[in-house]
């Protein structure tokens, strides 16, 4: 499972990198007032959360489920630590996103600014201006915003599911160019509490020594 996830991550991140960051791509006129209000509520939540930590469950394209803990601090810092028997960790230090496999002793690094996670970790995000929004589904208890990245014929997709009643991000799903889906569901979380910044250090030497 760790090797499969790392391969999928590489495919999605490299594909997403083809989209220039910071370029306004969404035509707001295609959405209704209710949809625009739903986007703005998600924007407001994303901008309001400085730190977030808690548990997560991930379902890969093969249906396998892994669990773990995560912590993030905006802008740009994140750590996903997978529970045993997985030996995978994903770390963003503000500049790089590293997928590290302690069993295989490998580190794969990508510029954070060219990954879909930049939309979650940006402290000044405006999805209408900074993302290519393809669809918005808004109801009283669920908002789904679907964003695309990459080149024509090689597009990846990020679906953000937001709970407007609990006022929090519930999950996200990344769909790669082959249609393979990886979903991360957030469990119990704590927002805007202090975090240990040492968690966001990418130390390749430790991976090689363990």
Query: Mean pLDDT, the chain, as a whole number?
Result: 84
| Residue-level pLDDT at 20 | 44
Please state the domain count of the chain: 1
| Residue-level pLDDT at 154 | 58
Q: Where are the beta strands (DSSP E) in the chain?
A: 51-59, 65-73, 77-82, 88-93, 96-101, 106-111, 132-138, 143-151, 154-163, 168-175, 181-191
Q: Which two tokens stand for residue 76?
A: 């740009």
Q: What is the CATH number of the domain that holds 35?
A: 2.50.20.10
Supply the pTM of this predicted model: 0.84
| Residue-level pLDDT at 106 | 87
Percent of the chain with pLDDT over 90: 50
Range of the domain at 7: 2-209
Model confidence at 35, in pLDDT bands (50, 70, 90)?
very high
The stretch 12-23 carries a mean pLDDT of: 49
């Amino acid at each position: 499972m760790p090797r499969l996830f790392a391969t999928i991550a590489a495919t999605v991140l490299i594909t997403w990198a083809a989209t220039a960051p910071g370029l306004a791509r969404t035509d707001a006129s295609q959405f209704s007032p209710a949809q625009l209000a739903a986007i703005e509520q998600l924007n407001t939540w994303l901008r309001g959360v400085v730190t977030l930590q808690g548990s997560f469950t991930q379902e890969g394209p093969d249906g396998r489920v892994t669990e773990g803990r995560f912590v993030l601090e905006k802008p740009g810092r994140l750590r996903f630590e997978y529970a045993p028997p997985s030996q995978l960790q994903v770390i963003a230090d503000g500049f790089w996103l590293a997928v590290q496999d302690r069993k295989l002793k490998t580190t794969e690094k990508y510029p954070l600014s060219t990954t879909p996670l930049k939309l979650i970790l940006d402290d000044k995000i405006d999805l209408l201006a900074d993302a290519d929004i393809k669809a918005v589904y808004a109801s009283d208890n669920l908002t789904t915003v679907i964003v695309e990245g990459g080149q024509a014929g090689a597009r990846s997709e990020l679906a953000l599911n937001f709970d407007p009643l609990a006022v929090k991000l519930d999950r996200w799903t990344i769909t790669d160019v082959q249609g393979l889906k990886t979903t991360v569901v957030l469990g119990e979380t704590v927002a805007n509490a202090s975090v240990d910044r040492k968690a966001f250090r990418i130390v390749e030497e430790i991976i090689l020594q363990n």
